[in-house]
């Protein structure tokens, strides 16, 4: 992929201290961008893992505070915006529906309201979610969707609709990536975090790996390097304003199989135990159709689940002291 359009680019990454942000920022720095402004309130990410690079400016702030947002954005002329900041994720939104609206809708609309006047902007990449598909069986970008399972699914979809509204009415060059369960380095375990970092931590501590469901449910687990590759492709592509792309692998993995790989790679004696599925979780199988991303963006995810888990576990173990010192950070 020719990433030369990123050379000397000025970039805003909201939520850049989070899991995907940490991986994205490392890739951006490798591609000679001139500046990266990160906006993050560190509610579910931590600046402590960010690389030490003079091109990074970290601004600790809430993206739903319009005055500060205006002040910071209007000091810059951004070429690209990656909007990753989010109130994460389903269970958190069930427990805290108002803060979900605040960050995921109000924060997104605030950004777009300001950026509609920024003519330098080449692309606004919005991190949407596969949960917008709800219980749809075919998950391609043309599928009619009407998510209502959790506030998070409603709000991630609503924000996606806003990216289209701003694209169509104000020609803000937005693109949305519907991200399927992503995993990799820089994601720590926590009450509201994804299953993989939680299982890795439990496996390393010899605690039970609790599957909510039968374990035969499937998910399209996507290694973060593949997702970042797709985000960069979407950023530099001449995609249509308001376009949408799936960010998955097109492969499904049973939760039980994933848990068994983690046990094996960590050499853990943990037991795998089962509990009833959470009442909002009605999706048995989730797998992306990546045809459009492949055809229009040349996206080719190539990290298989076992390889991705091995890399993730290696990162976790290499950084174990730091990770341990931060334990309970997000509880
Ligand atoms: N990780 C996944 O599997 C996955 C799946 C689907 C969609 N996504 C989306 O991708 C994006 C990044 O996800 P992630 O896994 O890196 O999550 P993350 O929680 O690690 O990162 C989100 C970041 O946003 C910050 N943040 C939250 N609220 C904020 C606010 N009001 N103001 C400023 N910063 C705020 C957090 O501190 C965190 O650093 C999110 O938009 C998420 O909805 C992720």
Most ligand 1 atoms within 8 A of CB, residue of 13, 16, 17, 18 to mutate: 18
Span from the CA of 267 to the centroid of ligand 1 (angstroms): 31
Ligand 1, pocket residues at CB < 6 Å = 15, 17-21, 39-45, 62-64, 84-88, 103, 107, 127, 129, 156, 179, 181-182, 194
Answer whether 101's CB lies under 8 Å from 151's CB: yes
Residues of the chain with CATH 3.90.25.10: 185-220+251-284+303-325
Q: Which CATH architecture has domain 185-220+251-284+303-325?
A: Alpha-Beta Complex (3.90)
DSSP one-letter string for 15-28? TTTSHHHHHHHHHH
* pLDDT at residue 76 is higher than 80: yes
Span from the CA of 269 to the centroid of ligand 1 (angstroms): 32
Most ligand 1 atoms within 8 A of CB, residue of 12, 14, 17, 20 to mutate: 20
Q: Select which of 80, 126, 133, 152 is catalytic.
A: 152
Span from the CA of 42 to the centroid of ligand 1 (angstroms): 10
- Residue 46 CA: nearest ligand 1 atom is 39
> Crossing angle of helices 255-266/195-205, nearest 10°?
40
- Residue 20 CA: nearest ligand 1 atom is 16
Query: For the segment 218-256, what is each residue's pLDDT rounded down to a tens digit?
Result: 999 999 999 999 999 999 999 889 999 999 999 999 999
* pLDDT at residue 328 is higher than 80: no
Is residue 316 annotated as part of the catalytic site, yes or no? Answer: no
Mean pLDDT, the chain, rounded, equals 96
Span from the CA of 271 to the centroid of ligand 1 (angstroms): 30
Answer whether 104's CB lies under 8 Å from 159's CB: yes
Most ligand 1 atoms within 8 A of CB, residue of 84, 107, 188, 253 to mutate: 84
Query: For the segment 255-297, what is each residue's pLDDT rounded down to a tens digit?
Result: 999 999 999 999 999 999 999 999 999 899 999 999 999 999 9
- Residue 179 CA: nearest ligand 1 atom is 6
Q: What is the DSSP secondary structure assignment for residue 196, as one 8-state letter?
A: H
Minimum CA distance residue for ligand 1 atom 10: 127
Which two three-digit tokens encode residue 244?
């949408």
How much is the pLDDT for 21? 98
Rounded Cα distance between 46 and 51, Å, is 12
* pLDDT at residue 300 is higher than 90: yes
- Residue 194 CA: nearest ligand 1 atom is 3
Mean pLDDT (whole number) for 92-103: 98
Span from the CA of 270 to the centroid of ligand 1 (angstroms): 29
Query: For the segment 109-119, what is each residue's pLDDT rounded down to a tens digit?
Result: 999 999 999 99
Query: For the segment 195-215, what is each residue's pLDDT rounded down to a tens digit?
Result: 999 999 999 999 999 999 999
- The percentage of residues in the chain with a pLDDT greater than 90, rounded to a whole number, is 94
Question: Can you identify the CATH homologous superfamily of domain 4-182+222-247?
Answer: NAD(P)-binding Rossmann-like Domain (3.40.50.720)
* pLDDT at residue 331 is higher than 80: no
113-147 burial string, b = 16+ CB within 10 Å, else e? bbbbebeebebbbbbbbbbbbbebeebebeeebeb
How much is the pLDDT for 329? 63
Tell me the Ramachandran region of residue 2: left when phi exceeds 0, alpha when psi lies from -120 to 50, beta otherwise.
Answer: beta
Residues of the chain with CATH 3.40.50.720: 4-182+222-247
């Amino acid at each position: 992929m020719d990433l030369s359009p990123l050379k000397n680019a000025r970039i805003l990454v909201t939520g850049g201290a989070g899991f995907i942000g940490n991986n994205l920022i490392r890739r951006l720095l490798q591609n000679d961008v001139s500046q990266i402004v990160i906006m993050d309130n560190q509610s579910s990410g931590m600046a402590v893992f960010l690389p030490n690079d003079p091109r990074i400016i970290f601004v600790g702030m809430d993206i739903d505070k319009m005055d500060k947002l205006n002040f910071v954005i209007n000091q810059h002329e951004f070429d690209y915006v990656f909007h990753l900041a989010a109130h994460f994720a389903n269970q958190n939104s069930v427990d805290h529906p108002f803060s979900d609206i605040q960050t995921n809708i109000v924060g997104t609309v605030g950004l777009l309201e300001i950026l509609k006047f920024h003519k330098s902007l080449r692309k606004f990449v919005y991190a949407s979610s596969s949960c917008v598909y709800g219980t749809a069986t075919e998950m391609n970008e043309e599928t009619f969707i009407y998510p209502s399972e959790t506030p998070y699914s409603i709000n991630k979809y609503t924000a996606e609709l806003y990216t289209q509204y701003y694209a169509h009415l104000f020609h803000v060059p937005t693109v949305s990536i519907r991200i399927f369960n992503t995993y990799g380095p820089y994601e720590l375990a926590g009450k509201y975090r994804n299953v993989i970092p939680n299982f890795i931590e439990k496996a390393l501590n010899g605690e039970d790996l609790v599957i909510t469901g039968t374990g035969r449910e499937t998910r399209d687990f996507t290694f973060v390097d593949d997702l970042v590759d797709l985000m960069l492709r979407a950023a530099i592509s001449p995609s249509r304003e308001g376009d949408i792309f799936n960010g998955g692998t097109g492969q499904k993995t049973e939760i039980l199989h994933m848990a068994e790989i983690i046990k094996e790679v960590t050499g853990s004696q943990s037991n795998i135990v089962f509990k009833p599925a959470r009442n909002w979780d009605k999706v048995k199988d989730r797998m992306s159709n990546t045809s459009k991303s492949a055809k229009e963006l040349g996206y080719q995810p190539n990290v298989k689940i076992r390889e991705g888990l091995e890399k993730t576990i290696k990162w976790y173990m290499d950084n174990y002291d730091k990770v341990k010192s931060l334990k309970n950070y997000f509880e």
